[in-house]
Structure 1
Amino acid sequence: MAADTFEVRSIATVVGGRKEPTDDFWGETRSIIRLHPEYPVESLQGIEEFSHLTVVFHFHLVSRAEEHIGVRSPRNNPEWPETGTFVHRNMRRPNRLGLAFPRLLKVDGRDLHVTDLDAVDGTPVVDLAPWFQEFAPQGEVRQPSWPTEMLRDYWKTSPNP
């Protein structure tokens, strides 16, 4: 049976912030999520009441040829265990979708000013919503140690301590 396919259109575009993706140092990166003109500005009414957003975006700088399906060590570090495609949270996924939870700083018409959005200038946003605490994971959260080690510099502001 073939996989289902469907069309997804972007609703907004990331403006500003970083020009190129990097593995670390995304802390305090400021950018704008600019809602496309075909969506009325009223579709954002009330969003300013929330501190954080849930943003689904497309890794548009990654080609199909760069996808990795299978097993590999995170960031190709042999000290970390080989794990499957759906254990990695990187841009080389089959649909090249990313998920982020940036802080909403202010709303200016169609522009949502955010910080800590790990998407680059020009990134298509396919969906956004306010973050509801009630949708946070329920119960105890567990994970192996390698993600904590791998991401220790992810939200730092620069390579200097």
Structure 2
Amino acid sequence: MATYEVESIATVVGGHTRVQDDYQGGVESVIRLNEAYPLETLQGIEEFSHLTVTWLFHLARPEDVQLHARSPRGNPDWPSTGTFVHRNHRRPNQLAISYPRLLEVEGRDLLVTDLDAVDGTPVIDLAPYFEQMGPRGPIRQPAWPGEMLEPNYWAKASERPSERPV
């Protein structure tokens, strides 16, 4: 198997402070470009509403990877599906892609909202989202992703129910 070495180009600053499955919405964070890259590498990005951000599940461990079929979130009501049908840290390279909304650019800092990564997350790559490069044609998917994500994934983090004391 071929291996590749990549370096982070930026880091997530602020925003979510812990990993969670839901209540990802309404949280602002900063994607801070590493100083190794000149500011002109961001020139023109402020004209876009959304970004495509590839990031590393940096809090995951190699032993979290699961190369077998399983039900999403362990819910037996949803079908058992393979590793490459899930979008979580249990994937072999533990990478994710998100599409946050770009609010403001200040030097090396890109202020975004709705980035489902946590404070300290290494950003492997970023680009503006081009509508013309999004999915073409009708979107098809089974019911379970909507059942799993629709109720709470993008609900505002401020609306998250309080945790009960242990």
Q: Normalised by the shorter chain, which TM-score bucket?
A: over 0.9
Deviation per CA, 1:58-93, whole angstroms, max 9, x where unpaired? Answer: 000000011111110000000000000000011111
Structure 2 unmatched runs, 5+: 162-166
Residues 66-122 of structure 1, C-alpha deviations (whole Å, 9 max, x = no match)? 111111000000000000000001111100000000000000000000000000000
Q: Distance in 1 between matches of 2:118 and 2:31?
A: 11
How many percent identity over aligned positions? 60
Name the counterpart of 2:164: none
Residue 133 of structure 1 is aligned with which of 119, 131, 146? 131
- Which consecutive aligned stretches of 4+ in structure 1 deviate over 4 angstroms post-superposition? none
Query: Which residues of 2 match residues 136-151 of structure 1 at below 5 A?
Result: 136-151=134-149
Equivalent residue number for residue 109 of structure 2 = 111
> Take 2:9 and 2:77, find their aligned partners in 1: how far apart are those partners?
40
Shift of 1:159: 3.2
Give structure 1 stretches of 5+ with no counterpart. Answer: none
User: Partners in 2 of 1:93 and 1:29 — Cα distance?
Assistant: 25
Query: Which of 53, 63, 66 is matched with 2:64 structurally?
Result: 66
Instruction: Give the alignment's TM-score, normalised by structure 2.
Output: 0.94
Q: Secondary structure at the match of 1:143?
A: coil
Which residue number in structure 1 is paired with residue 95 of structure 2? 97
How many residues align structurally?
A: 158
Match of 1:159 in 2: 160
Alpha-carbon deviation of 1:138? Answer: 0.5
- The one-letter code of the counterpart of 2:2 is D
Alignment partners' CA distance in 2, 1:16 and 1:23: 18
- CA-based RMSD of the aligned residues comes to 0.7
Quote the Cα distance in structure 2 between the aligned partners of 1:93 and 1:15.
Answer: 24
Q: Could you state the TM-score of these two structures normalised by the residue count of structure 1?
A: 0.97
Query: Using the alignment, how far apart are the partners of 1:159 and 1:9 within structure 2?
Result: 34
AA at the equivalent of 1:76: G
